[in-house]
Structure 1
């Protein structure tokens, strides 16, 4: 059944609330923990997360995407893929458990062994959670995710902070990360009616995995090479350097997850309903890209300008080495938002084969940038990511010239006014840094001036995303009055 405009917007509303609330609480928790713990302790968890995140791809992406994309997924489909995901996750946990010593030796750090064994318990929990998320996405019941994410983030955050104050060090981060997904799974178990049944169909598994394995492979390649960067930094430098890099990426990731994550999570199941209507698919993709870039561009450019006062205010001066990484990665994420919109359109159209081909095409470029920059410095790696994301964006746009008839020229025309307006905003706020104000005043002035310039310009240029947001806000307030 095709989702209505109201249900799609309701999905956006609750998914965005979930993203904002969850990320805001997580952000506050991470700031408190960063002020208590040392960069080296963050680095140890970052090293272990390289392997855990890669393994999680196998149990969270292909299975759930197949359930969302299939138009008439049944109870048998859900149970079949649940059993596949759970068994596979236990198998992967055993592998990473047995390889913990090898991983520790690779990094020359035996302290990683117990952390690997405990943090990897996320795998079977994530397997269960991914099927729950697929059920919620199919039913556009994002209000359920909002409540479960809020409860899980708050509970795990309180636990992490308490352990940090009790001098548990790196284990504060380990238990926070593990209990976050555990609490969310438990809350969703109580909130949604779906339960796994002892039923399995080999034929249904083959049909679903025919689509799902390509999405899984594409996501695996993307995630592996994304984490490969952290693996290489941790191997050639040290845990503290990796912590500075990851901390620099944390702020732009916060924005990207809230905006692109929200739009992608809600739009994919909505777009999938129009897989046979390419004109409608193109229209919704254009709207998605317009909304994402309208929000992402000014926030990323503004954050790059205000990176130093933000870091001093929130994290203290001990994290100042992360500033140049934050600035570079803010720009890199701007290109990623265009890539994400195009990838969602391809995925929704059922062309998972093209997704896989794109990932295979992009990875040699990524490897070339990483391997050529890692010997220079960690900052060189961050700069190379800006160039890499730009090239990846050009590659990701290409197939939609044929799939949904949305070529480079049209996409550039759609995003250029927003990009130009964000640049003009930067020209107004950049000189504020020369006033030598304290961090709070500088950030406040940056936000006020930037918002006035950007929103005024958007109104004068009559940018569609601005009026789209305003019209829906008007509908939202009317509906709640």
Structure 2
């Protein structure tokens, strides 16, 4: 299992890096070709599509991964249920489209919503494929699929944007990305949908999955509610600045934290009857993930201005403060995710749902307070919520895994303290008058050196662990040579 986990991390991380790097480069090109208003309109529509997407992709796939002996009948049963459900959701979105357009006082949105929602049945199919990949730890197979889909769909999006298709360039990019991934995985995987349906197989999976689904729906709804209310209360351009500032920390989160969560869940599910092993996996994961993610997030917050100016030009300069606050918020996301993966792996999806029911009133209160003040205040209150959410998600594992709150804090604090120290030092460089690119390079260099030296001086466990893995990998490589 240890080898499978490391191999899974390697391929999943490479897949995330390659696809996200391509997407990142393409998004920069599109940001230069399109206007903030185009991005703002897509963000408005995506509120509804994202929530609908959660309906058809969340919960059922997790149930297949969590079940130890899931077979082809289980996968085909869940596939049939998911596809039927996705068609029902699409019909609902299709009928709601005129109301959505009316809500935003833009009749053109009706057709855009109906076309964009066509990706839902494909997303449902792809979710089962992704579950199969995770269950079998076949992350190498998905590497080519996601990279190819990102390149092809991105290039088509750029061509359409250059030809003046505006918002349709973004819509087609998103739809084609889902189509290409699904087709590529269909060719590579041994599992293909069959007309096998067993209610006796599906019932326990649905019993577990509906709670995960409701948890995801609550999370997605309130996350998109922020965009919806921002779009209603402020201009599309202001919303675009917020979303663009959010994009950079999301990129890191998806690449690193997303990799850890994706591989950790099936690994922990394989030991869902051995709580001591799960605790060890969770502790190591939190130590390593915070050691990697926190300095990256705090470092990105410190270099937000040069990043925006160099990559997106001064057209997007107003995104800088949003990016800074949301980077700090993202630094605490890995704590929440790892704890939630553990709870899910041992089959307690009911606790995940209860946690959401506790957290969301706090989220709503902070969101309303932020909206009353300004768009930037929303970014600030979301940072506060991220910290509160991490603390609440830590709580159940004190009893479930005997992972005491004190132990969790001790595992998190070293990386947090070093990251804040690095942030302060890197921020001081901005006081020196330097060309923007030179300052950016200097900030990165100083940040990396300071954080690495402090980690080595204080002999952080996560740092020593990563060095051990690197040394072990080099020995294996030399052995094969």
TM-score range normalised by the length of the shorter chain: over 0.9
Of 265, 270, 278 in structure 2, the residue corresponding to residue 268 of structure 1 is: 265
Residue 93 of structure 1 pairs with residue 112 of structure 2: no
Per-residue Cα deviation, 1:51-76 (whole angstroms, up to 9, x for no partner)? 11111111111110000000000110
CA RMSD of aligned residues (A): 1.0
Question: Which deviates the most, 258-267 or 331-340?
Answer: 331-340
Paired with 1:44 and 1:358, the residues of 2 have a C-alpha distance of: 32
**CA distance in 2: counterparts of 1:135 and 1:196, whole angstroms:** 11
Displacement after TM superposition at 1:435 (Å): 1.6
Partner of 2:147: 150
Q: Is the partner of 2:197 in helix, strand or coil?
A: coil
CA contact (8 A) 1:45 1:115 kept: no
Give yes or no for contact 1:80–1:199 (8 Å, CA) kept in 2. Answer: yes
Question: What CA distance in whole angstroms lies between the structure 1 residues aligned with 2:217 and 2:333?
Answer: 17
- 1:40/1:240 contact within 8 Å kept: yes
**Structure 2 residue corresponding to 1:123, chosen from 120, 134, 140:** 120
- 1:460: how far off? 1.1
| Preserved CA contact (<8 Å) 1:310 1:439 | no
Distance 1:475 1:149 in 2: 29
Alignment coverage as a number of residue pairs: 478
Q: Does 1:58 align with 2:55?
A: yes
User: Matched residue of 1:197: which SS?
Assistant: coil
Q: Deviations over 1:391-435 (max 9, x none)?
A: 111111111110111122111111111111111112221111122
1:275, 1:349 within 8 Å by CA — same for their partners in 2?
yes
2:223 aligned residue (218, 223, 226): 226
Runs of 4+ in 1 over 4 A off after TM superposition: none
Which secondary structure state, in structure 2, belongs to the residue aligned with residue 130 of structure 1?
Answer: helix
Residue 415 of structure 2 corresponds to which residue in structure 1?
A: 418
Written as runs of structure 1 = structure 2, the 5 A alignment for 1:454-473 is 454-473=451-470
In 2: Cα distance, 1:189 partner to 1:61 partner: 20
Q: Distance in 2 between matches of 1:319 and 1:177?
A: 22
Question: Equivalents in 2 of 1:349, 1:144: separation in Å?
Answer: 27
Calculate the TM-score normalised by the size of structure 2. 0.98
Q: Gaps spanning 5+ residues in structure 1: where?
A: none
Instruction: Find the counterpart in structure 2 of residue 395 from structure 1.
Output: 392
**Alignment partner of 1:26 out of 12, 18, 23:** 23
Q: CA deviation at 1:470?
A: 2.0
Output the TM-score relative to the length of structure 1.
0.98
**Distance in structure 2 (CA, Å) of the matches to 1:259 and 1:413:** 22
Q: Which residue of 2 aligns with 1:342?
A: 339
Contact persistence 1:398–1:408 (CA under 8 A): yes
Task: Please name the residue that 1:449 is paired with.
Answer: 446
1:362-382 deviations in Å (ceiling 9; x for gaps): 000001111122121101111
Contact 1:422/1:454, CA 8 A, preserved across alignment? yes
Q: Secondary structure at 1:195's aligned position in 2?
A: coil
Distance, in Å, in 1 between the alignment partners of 2:29 and 2:437 is 18
1:478 deviates by 3.5
Partner of 2:304: 307
Which sections of structure 2, spanning at least 5 residues, go unmatched?
none
Aligned pairs for 1:285-364 within 5 A: 285-364=282-361
Q: Once the 2 structures are TM-superposed, how far is the Cα of residue 223 of structure 1 from its aligned partner?
A: 1.0
Confirm whether residue 257 of structure 1 aligns to residue 254 of structure 2: yes
What SS does structure 2 have at the residue aligned with 1:374?
A: helix
Aligned counterpart for 2:432 among listed residues 426, 429, 435: 435
Deviations 1:288-339 (CA, angstroms, capped at 9, x unpaired): 1111101111111111111111100000101011111101101111121111
